[in-house]
Structure 1
Amino acid sequence: MRTSDHVRALMRIGLPLIGGHVAQFGIGLTDTVMLGWYSVEALASVVLGSMFFFVIFILGSGFAIAVMPLVAEADAEGDEQALRRVTRMGLWLSVIFGVVVQPLFLMSGPLLLALKQAPDVAELAQDYLRIAGLGLVPALLVMVLKSYLAALEHTRVVFWVTVAAVPVNAVVNYGLIFGNWGLPEMGVKGAAIASIIVQFVSLVGVILYAIKALPQHTLFARVWRPDWEVFAKVFRLGLPIGVTNLAEVGLFSASSIMMGWLGTVTLAAHGIALQLASLAFMVHLGLSNAATVRAGNAMGRKDADHMARGAWVAIVASLLIAFVAVAIFLIFPEQLLGAFIDPQEPQREVIIATGVSLLYVAALFQVMDGAQVMALGLLRGVQDTRGPMVIAAISYWGIGVPSAYVLGFTFNLGGEGVWLGLVCGLTAAGILLMYRFWVTDLTRLRKRFSEKKASA
């Protein structure tokens, strides 16, 4: 394939996935904006509560993400039975995980207090999590089915299902958070109920599409029957992915905890700035998912040159997005932050001033944040997950978290120091993960594919 063909293929798969991730971000953004207008305390508590939920979700999502490269490879080989077996066991693992971790949501208040969060914020966060936790299983099932559909290049439905969920979330939030239309005013509990409704609506949407668009796969026929061989395969590939994701998300979650030590205002500013940085990350993540599918297909075709050219195209696209994000963060910080805070909020100016300095630091890690997630996408496409797990643990927890603490508290740089620690961790991960794909894995695959061609 020519470079232009790789660009078209990447955009065909990646653009709907980017749109889906941005729409998913829009759901979180709606929560943040509405709760920011409700009260600073509600915003701070849901920043913590969402972080807690996401940490657990991202660990369980490893099984869903593992489905993507396995289905892509099976599709390239024309093996419909394999892709069906992989997807079903991804669903199994997601349900099992979602049920096992439910006690963590019920005990979230004491856990947050043990992390030295303010008692009133921890109590509100627990109110949110005891309801929102019930939506974990449908959220994970949606992710498995989205991975299945994305691997088969049915990416538009991933986009449209998520887009449809945004207004549903906004309407239910508006009614239940503020008590509009005769509904009870429920604050953070209303936001939690809205999230559950959105997850179930999304699940119904992707199930109906999978049944109608791909009936030949009979995906849900005898779904209750175990397939222990494939169950173990998805588990072995998915658990390291989940732990890798946990290491990265844990870095940002640790930063949220440290920001909570600096006060409610600082935590609220951190939550808003992190939302904005996450928007740019959603674009990188969509491209990374597309890179996983493309690399998985190249694995099925046993074509290392095709894989390398596709990887370069994806990385260049990610770099361009990073440069755009840097420019926006540096030019429009006050306008971006101001949209999240009620104009009548007494602490509005302090929150914005704190958030501006954080966005300047966020501009520093855009390139490396894109680099590390692109490398992870490529590595997952070639089914290399254990080595990246070790690299992630070292980069995020061996370098990032200690750097954030030392710069933020030992050197008294406050919130800016904590975020500079994020830069250190992401930079280490970006360099090491890129090295592993280009030098270690691609060299190994070239040799393996050449030997198979020679023996054939």
Structure 2
Amino acid sequence: MNLETYTKEFSYNLRLAYPIILGMLGHTIVGIVDNIMVGKLGPTELAAVSLGNSFVFIAMSLGIGFSTAITPLAAQADGRRSVAEGRSAFHHGLYLCTILGVVLFTVIFLSKPIISFMGQPENVVDLAKPYLDIVAFSLIPLIIFQGYKQFADGMSETKISMWATILGNVVNVFLNYLFIYGIWIFPELGIVGAAIGTIVSRFVMLGYMHFQMKNMVKFHPFFEGFSIKKIKKEVNLKIINLGAPSAMQMFFEVGLFTAAVWLSGRLGITNQAANQIALSLASFTFMFAMGLSVAATIRVGNQKGLGDYKQLRVVAISIFLVAILLETLFALIFILFHKQLPALFIDMDNVNDLAANTEVVAIAAQLLIVAAVFQISDGIQVVFLGALRGLQDVKLPMYITFIAYWVVGFPTSVYLGIYTTLGAAGIWIGLLAGLTTAAIFLYIRFNKLTKRLIIENSAPQPRADEFVI
């Protein structure tokens, strides 16, 4: 096939993906806003937010990863025009996401004492504990929100969650401003104020998502007939069999980046603060690839429902090419502005912390150079993960990600970061090694699987104008 076969899919891919991207950016922007506003308080406060969020991000990765099982089931049902299949995926998915949100909050809350035994600076730990309590509870509305979002995404209605996260961010910024700095009649709560903004914004997002979907005609059939008595064990198991490996895939990657936070903390407050800045920026650009990954899940799921594996492969590769172009652009931005971007997170006019803040910016600038390189690997691996998820192929990719991140990436981070003079940059080179390994083997898996499916399924390919997703 020539290049035009893939590029003609770009327009539709971007129309489908941009609301998902904006929605996912909303989650990241909540963290970035917290980091920028807290960063003005000082490097110790920023390190405390980083430490607290490292626990929440692990739990969040499991919840969000699990919820992604709903998307391919909804997309397949949409491709088949089966309301019954879609309703089943929606009801059982929400049921499981609600339970999982409560479980994750409980685990994080009970795990809080572990912070004191992680070799982190004592003043950072003292600040992180109350922040963690509040943000951990926000996992409950967030994971339930994901249940709604993943179903709507699977039905190709991707704009609802976009508007929900935009609204959530407006609420978060407003409340942060009031509670972090103590504006007007509100108390000055520092990083606890940032946690309050986060939890309220996530409840607002959930409420908006439910209200909009409930009142949209397209979703009326899917809200009908919900009852705990109708929840079936076999459907729950089907979602769990898809969701658990997907959750572990995301857990392995987020766990590696969380380990980078902890390793940086062992190097000192400035290294941990710099790591948080670079991680915030890299997470922001990663959301573009993550949005394209969800688009790949939706479109691949649709084509799987239609049984058209040739077009499925075309769709997936076209999304992969878009991801490569975008991540290359972000890599260039990181290289060109690696010194200027970290300064946005730090108050360089603060004379008392000037030396520490200068060091934070210098370390973060080094990390962004490494991040520029792994942008491309990160984009490749997440898009092919999304495509494989659309095929409901999740178990082997789970093993691939474990090996890439924890057999290759983590040991490299430990050795280069702790036992060489590279420091934080060495930790991030380990991240690069893990992401690149994952990208290579996930591509190999997708390539082999789709070629085999094309051979095994001889259904004729429909014309593009015969079916509109």
> TM tier, shorter chain?
over 0.9
Quote the residue 2:412 is aligned against: 403
Distance of 1:267 and 1:59 partners within structure 2: 24
Quote the residue 2:221 is aligned against: 217
Distance of 2:119 and 2:144 partners within structure 1: 33
Between 24-33 and 379-388, report the one with greater CA deviation: 24-33
CA change 1:63–1:109 in 2 (3 A) is closer
CA change 1:44–1:388 in 2 (3 A) is same
Is the 2:405–2:435 contact (alpha carbons within 8 Å) kept by the matching residues of 1?
yes
Q: CA deviation at 1:4?
A: 5.2
Is the 1:63–1:93 contact (alpha carbons within 8 Å) kept by the matching residues of 2?
no
Q: CA deviation at 1:269?
A: 0.6
CA change 1:183–1:223 in 2 (3 A) is farther
Quote the residue 1:450 is aligned against: 458
Distance of 2:101 and 2:143 partners within structure 1: 8
SS at match of 2:189: coil
Between 342-351 and 218-227, report the one with greater CA deviation: 218-227
Matched, 1:99 2:102: yes
Quote the residue 2:246 is aligned against: 241
TM-score (norm 1): 0.96
Is the 2:43–2:357 contact (alpha carbons within 8 Å) kept by the matching residues of 1?
no
Structure 2: runs of 5 or more not aligned: 462-469
Is the 1:58–1:242 contact (alpha carbons within 8 Å) kept by the matching residues of 2?
yes
Quote the residue 1:200 is aligned against: 203
Is the 1:67–1:87 contact (alpha carbons within 8 Å) kept by the matching residues of 2?
yes
Matched, 1:435 2:444: yes
- Among 352, 356, 369, the residue aligned to 1:360: 369
Give me the CA root mean square deviation: 1.7
Distance of 1:222 and 1:351 partners within structure 2: 52
Residue type of the alignment partner of 1:320:
L
Residue type of the alignment partner of 1:395:
A
Is the 1:272–1:340 contact (alpha carbons within 8 Å) kept by the matching residues of 2?
yes
Quote the residue 2:291 is aligned against: 286
- In the TM superposition, what whole-angstrom CA distance separates every residue of 1:121-165 from its partner, at most 9, and x where no partner exists? 122222111111111111001111111111111111221111111
- Among 307, 315, 327, the residue aligned to 2:332: 327
Quote the residue 1:149 is aligned against: 152
CA change 1:353–1:220 in 2 (3 A) is farther
- Among 424, 427, 445, the residue aligned to 2:433: 424
Distance of 1:289 and 1:121 partners within structure 2: 36
- Among 378, 383, 395, the residue aligned to 2:387: 378
Give matches, 1:256-271, under 5 Å. Answer: 256-271=261-276
Structure 1: runs of 5 or more not aligned: none
Distance of 2:192 and 2:219 partners within structure 1: 39
SS at match of 1:342: coil
Distance of 1:108 and 1:222 partners within structure 2: 34
Q: CA deviation at 1:386?
A: 0.5
Distance of 1:420 and 1:5 partners within structure 2: 36
Quote the residue 1:61 is aligned against: 64
Q: CA deviation at 1:452?
A: 11
Between 92-101 and 331-340, report the one with greater CA deviation: 92-101
CA change 1:119–1:97 in 2 (3 A) is same
Residue type of the alignment partner of 1:140:
I
SS at match of 1:333: coil
SS at match of 1:450: coil
Q: Identity over aligned residues, as a percent?
A: 35
Q: CA deviation at 1:27?
A: 1.4
- In the TM superposition, what whole-angstrom CA distance separates every residue of 1:274-302 from its partner, at most 9, and x where no partner exists? 11111110110111110110100010010
Distance of 1:223 and 1:113 partners within structure 2: 43
SS at match of 1:413: coil
SS at match of 1:38: coil
- In the TM superposition, what whole-angstrom CA distance separates every residue of 1:75-99 from its partner, at most 9, and x where no partner exists? 1011111111112111111121222
Is the 2:104–2:139 contact (alpha carbons within 8 Å) kept by the matching residues of 1?
no
Distance of 1:64 and 1:150 partners within structure 2: 11
Is the 2:23–2:163 contact (alpha carbons within 8 Å) kept by the matching residues of 1?
yes
Distance of 1:211 and 1:138 partners within structure 2: 17
Is the 1:109–1:125 contact (alpha carbons within 8 Å) kept by the matching residues of 2?
no
Quote the residue 1:300 is aligned against: 305
Between 216-225 and 396-405, report the one with greater CA deviation: 216-225
Quote the residue 2:466 is aligned against: none
- In the TM superposition, what whole-angstrom CA distance separates every residue of 1:219-276 from its partner, at most 9, and x where no partner exists? 2642433222211110110000001100000110011110000001110011001111
- Among 175, 179, 183, the residue aligned to 1:176: 179
- Among 105, 130, 133, the residue aligned to 1:130: 133
Distance of 2:193 and 2:111 partners within structure 1: 18
SS at match of 2:345: coil
Q: CA deviation at 1:24?
A: 2.4
Distance of 2:56 and 2:105 partners within structure 1: 11
Is the 1:211–1:218 contact (alpha carbons within 8 Å) kept by the matching residues of 2?
no
SS at match of 1:384: coil
- In the TM superposition, what whole-angstrom CA distance separates every residue of 1:422-448 from its partner, at most 9, and x where no partner exists? 111001000001100111x21332234
Distance of 2:147 and 2:290 partners within structure 1: 16
Quote the residue 1:90 is aligned against: 93
Quote the residue 1:387 is aligned against: 396
Q: CA deviation at 1:204?
A: 0.7
Between 232-241 and 125-134, report the one with greater CA deviation: 125-134
Is the 2:168–2:205 contact (alpha carbons within 8 Å) kept by the matching residues of 1?
yes
TM-score (norm 2): 0.93
SS at match of 1:192: helix
Is the 1:13–1:150 contact (alpha carbons within 8 Å) kept by the matching residues of 2?
no
- In the TM superposition, what whole-angstrom CA distance separates every residue of 1:352-382 from its partner, at most 9, and x where no partner exists? 1111111111111111011110110111010
